[in-house]
Each structure stands twice: as structure tokens, then as C-alpha cells.
Structure 1
Amino acid sequence: MKAFVFPGQGAQFVGMGKDMYDSNPEAKAMFEKANEILGFRITDLMFEGTDEDLKQTKVTQPAIFLHSTILAKVMGDKFAPEMVAGHSLGEFSALVAAGALSFKLVSKRAMAMQKACELEPSTMAAIIGLDDEKVEEVCNKIDEIVVPANYNTVGQLVISGSVAGIDQAIEQLKELGAKRAMKLPVGGAFHSPLMEPARVELEKAINETNIENPVCPVYQNVTAAGERDPKAIKENLKKQLTAPVKWTQTVKNMIADGASSFTEVGPGKALQGMVKKVDRKMPVESATAE
């Protein structure tokens, strides 16, 4: 079975999507429609902006989402998924590509998270080379908000929380033997309790959003399980902003359910590497040369 996976925040780069815009009239029309919906020319920031421009959550998320979903569209018959999943923001791209969701909810998610990021200094850090259990133990002992956020792959767990809490965790995890413990270039503590204001705001938008039956199972971050029921999809989306991304578990479940190959649809190549670390023999590829 063909599995298609969609990247999340951090996959952005200046120039992303310009080749599609320049070479494909259908892609150009979709990019221009997005500019109209957003009320600003996000394509200018994607194609010619700075790294700092693209790091703003309100820009990053719709930019990655647009790249991913437009790429899926212009792939045509090559995009014939039998199962899909997305990492964090990528879950929304997967839902749209599977015909279950529309674009506007992603814009609302990005703005809600941007506002939450501005309420309190917060960040995330990647921890490499320790068992998940050891990382979890350290997070639980720190007297600040620090939680496991992204179970990316075997031996790689991203933590999320207050700046002070992340600093303490990095120091302690290095002492325990982490190969790397480094802050990530993100604007806030995603998938942590600090996203609660955004979760409340997004929940209202989700309740007002119609979700259709997807064309194939969508493996969701909160449960790591394939889902086709619109009601269940909605409930899982409501929890996504403050719950951890169970990506390692997702990939394992997709393989157990019959995935025979993975294609990353969107900017970057991060998810391909994560899949390979779960199963080195699994065929993985990118839908784009970028």
C-alpha cells in the first residue's frame, strides 16, 4: 500500500514552491487564490522573503501547507494514496489532500498559535540519543512546563515548554548522555500546555468546520491510528495542539497496516529520514526534487 506523508513546521525554505508557480498554471492559480484568502501575498514571502519572514508561525504554517497540498494536486494520478499522515501541521495537509478538509482552518490555526506564542517566551528542543523514557522522566521532574512534544523516531524526541524549563532539561539530558540536545528555531512551545489558548480558539473553528469522509485512512498525531470517521477526526484535531505528536508510533502502525512505500509530499526531506530510522528497508522517496 502506498503511504503519503506531509511535513510540518521547520520544513520551510526561501524559494519553496516557486518552481511549481512558474511552471504549472494550475499551481499558480491555487497560489493566487491563497493570497486572496489570506489577505496578503504569502507567495512573495515564500519565494523572495527572508528566513526570519518564514519563521513567523502565521507565515510558516500556511506556506508549508500550500506547498504540500498544491504539490499533491499537481501530482495528478501519481498522488493515489491508500493511507496518509502528517507531522503536526502536516496532519492538516494530509486531511486536505485526502478530501476531508478545506484551507481556511489552517490559516486560523496559524494565527491562533502565533498569538499563543506571543503570550509567554517558550521554545522546543530536539533530544537525540536517549530512550524516550529517560527524557520523559527528566521532563516530569523539572519545576517548569516541559513536556515531550514530538516522538519523531527511535532515539529522537522533541520536548516543548518554557524557555527556562527547556534550558534546565537540555542541561540535565546532556549530563545523562544525550548525543545532542539543542533548541529548535521555532516561535513557541508547540504541542504543550502553553498552546492551551490556541487550542480553545481553534476548537471553536473546528466545531464550525465541515469535515468530509477522507478517501483513505488518515493516521492522526494524537492516536497514531488510521481514522476515516469525520466525528473522530474532529475530536482528535481538537486535542492536537496540546498533545504530543506520536510520529514514531504512526509510522510503525502504517507499516503494520500494510504500507509498502512512503512518499513525502511537501518541502524538505525530514520525514523520509524518520521513516528510514524506523524501518531501514522501507522504500521512501520525495514527491519533489526540492
Structure 2
Amino acid sequence: MSKKAFLFPGQGSQYVGMAKDLYDNSVEAVEMIKTADDALGVNLSYIMFNGSEEQLKQTEFTQPAIFLHSVVLASLIRTLQPKAAAGHSLGEYSALVSANAIQFYDAIKLVRARGKAMQQAGIDNPGTLAAIVGLESAKVEEFCKEASSEGVVQCANFNSPGQIVISGSLTGVKKAMELCKSGGAKIVKELVVSGAFHSPLMQSAKDSLLKDLNETPFYDSRFPVYANVTAKPVTQKDEIKNLLYEQVTSPVRWEETIVNMIADGFDEFYEIGPGKVLQGLVKRINPDVKIFGIDKFKDVEEYL
């Protein structure tokens, strides 16, 4: 009997037209999307369905858009029962809603607050991200430590073997990129983002989010959610809340998360939400496990 887990994508998986077919084919999807628009006081659905891409790329809209798409899909799925979940960065909020640790209505407001706080932190403390491909994580960490003399820089995402994202100040990241390049990295590429996510430059966003987290009711989750910060399963509400707080300035330990889930017996994964990013990462981490994607209404139809 296969052991199933849901995975939820993070920022970067958005596309114009996302969740439109869900809205067109499901009364439940219409209800949830309208509820989100009302809760936020913003016509988020219009931005999702019609763009522009520029607007959808703004962190304060990107995050609730991906979250909404993911949780609508998860709530439509009737015949798949996951035994655990995990989400990449923002996706951890989607995972927690699927596990009933946060109510949808509270979570959409929390996610928008997180997005706004991160966007503001990016304006107040400008920084950047860079993808490093083809170096071991210990080596990248070593180069980040060395580059720290030039400015803030640390590993932000351990995505899959040899695929790491670094984050920090413009000078720190630039120096680390040079060191990684001369140290034998296959690809070193700066990413277009609105802030130094998962680095100490997000401290103001973390402080701002704490207030929102403290005002949000949390519940013990009905199945374990593997946290980004520890790569380990968590079910206890206070621990869940604390890990969401720590997540803002901590690296996303995605490779470790998937490795731990597989070690715990999970062998069938479903990426729930826009895009295929996590499917690609899981295949690189372990090509032997089954991974499926549920993004469009046609994908969800067989599980209604």
C-alpha cells in the first residue's frame, strides 16, 4: 500500500490564467475564490485570471495567488487521502491549511500580510537571490561564509542535489557568486526577485509577521507537515506557529525534507498547485518515487 503525501509550491510557480478553469468548473472553487477576494478587500481573482504578469509578480499578490490556487485544488480532491504534507516556503501555509492547522479564511489574510511584509522588507533592505548549480551544499555554505566579509549572504534554498539558492545583500551575493564560479559551479545566475528572501535582510518582515501570527488561531494538524526550517514533521500548533516565524529568515531545507519523507515511508507524492517546479526537484532528489501534478481542473477531475 503506497504512502501518499501532498506537496505545495512556492513563489515563482504563478502564471496568468491560474485557477481560472477551477472557477469555471466548480461551485466550491467559486465560493473559495470569492471568499478570498472579500477577505483581502482586493480583486485577487482578476489579477490571477487576467494579469498583468507584472502585477502577478508582485510578492504581495503572488503569494496569496499561489496559496489560493493550491488550497482550492486540495479542497476539491476527495479520493486522495495524504498521510503528510510539505510546502516550499509560501507552500508551507497551503500544506498547513490542507492539514487543518489553519483555517482557510485566516490563512489567506496571513499569506497576504506575509507577502506585503516581505515586499516592504525588500524595499527597505534591498537584496537579491542567485541560483548555484553543480556544487555541493557544504561548498556553497563555505563560499557564503567567506563572502560575508563583503555583505550579508547565506544559503536560502537547498532545493535538490547540486541546486542551491543563495540570498543576501547585493555585495554579499555578488562576492559569493564570484567564489562559486571560480570554485567550479556549472551555473551561477542572479534571480529577478523583490527581496533577499530567507536571509537576515527579511528581519523586519519577520517582526511584522509575528504580530499577525499571534492574532491567528492555530490548531494541531490532522497529519504531520514537514517544516522548511527543520525538514522534520510537526503537528503541534505552537511549534507550527514558531516555525512559520523562523522560516522568514531561515533556509528552506527542501532536499532534506523529501529525503526524510521518503525515509519515513512516503513513496507517492502529489504536487498540488500551479506549475511543475516541485515535480522536477523530487525527480532529482529521488527518481524512484512516484510524483504527480495537480494544477488544472482536468487533473483534479479523477480525484473528485
Matches for 1:175-186 after TM superposition, within 5 Å: 175-186=182-193
- Structure 1 position 71 matched with structure 2 position 73: yes
Question: What amino acid is aligned across from residue 55 of structure 1 in structure 2?
Answer: K
Partners of 1:222 and 1:202 in 2: how far apart? 16
Mapped to 2, the partners of 1:169 and 1:127 lie a distance apart of 10
Q: How does 1:117-136 map to 2 (within 5 A)?
A: 117-136=122-141
Q: Is residue 133 of structure 2 the alignment partner of residue 96 of structure 1?
A: no
RMSD after superposition: 1.2
Matches within 5 A, 1:188-203: 188-203=195-210
Matches within 5 A, 1:134-283: 134-142=139-147, 143-283=150-290
Displacement of 1:162 in angstroms is 1.2
Report deviation, 1:208. 2.0
Counterpart of 1:248 in structure 2: which amino acid? E
Deviations along 1:117-148, one digit per CA (max 9) or x if unpaired, are: 11022111111000111111111111201110
Q: Which amino acid aligns with 2:200?
A: P
State the Cα deviation string for residues 173-217 of structure 1 (Å, max 9, x = none).
Answer: 111111111122221111000000010111121122211121100
> Does the Cα contact within 8 Å between 1:55 and 1:187 map onto a contact in 2?
no
TM-score (norm 1): 0.97
What is the identity, as a one-letter code, of the residue corresponding to 1:36?
A: D
Partner Cα distance (2:14, 2:295) in 1: 14
- The answer to whether 1:57 aligns with 2:59 is yes
* 1:224-278 Cα shifts (integer Å, max 9, x gaps): 0001111111111110100111111100110011102110000011111111111
Q: Deviations over 1:18-52 (max 9, x none)?
A: 11011111101111111111111111111111221
Alpha-carbon distance in 2 for matches of 1:160, 1:13? 24
Q: Which amino acid aligns with 2:132?
A: I
Matched-pair contact (CA < 8 Å) for 1:145–1:162: yes
Kept in 2, the 8 Å contact 1:4–1:265? The answer is yes
Normalising by structure 2, we get a TM-score of 0.92
Residue in structure 1 matched with residue 83 of structure 2 by the alignment: 82
Q: How many residues align?
A: 289
| Structure 1 residue 77 displacement after superposition | 2.6
- Pick one of 283, 291, 294 that aligns with 1:284: 291
TM-aligned CA deviation for residue 109 of structure 1: 1.0
| Alignment partners' CA distance in 2, 1:234 and 1:35 | 25
Q: Secondary structure at the match of 1:76?
A: coil
Q: Equivalent residue for 2:35? A: 33
Checking the alignment, whether the CA contact within 8 Å between 1:10 and 1:186 is kept in structure 2 is no
**What letter matches 1:85 in structure 2?**
A
C-alpha deviation, 1:56, in angstroms: 0.6
Cross-structure match for 2:302: none
**What is the SS of the residue equivalent to 2:151?**
coil
> What is the aligned partner in structure 2 of residue 7 from structure 1?
9
Tell me how far apart the structure 1 counterparts of residues 36 and 188 of structure 2 sit (CA, whole Å): 37
- Tell me the percent identity: 49
* Structure 1, gaps ≥5 residues long: none
SS at match of 1:285: strand
In 2, the alpha carbon distance for the partners of 1:136 and 1:196 equals 20
Cα offset, 1:10, TM superposition: 0.6
**Deviation above 6 Å: which 4+ runs of structure 1?**
none
CA distance in 2, matches of 1:157, 1:25: 40
Structure 2, gaps ≥5 residues long: 300-304
Q: Is the 8 A contact 1:5 1:262 kept in 2?
A: yes
Larger CA deviation: 193-202 vs 110-119:
110-119
User: How big is the shift at 1:288?
Assistant: 2.6
Paired with 1:245 and 1:96, the residues of 2 have a C-alpha distance of 19
1:158 Cα deviation after fit? 0.4
The equivalent residue for 1:114 is 119
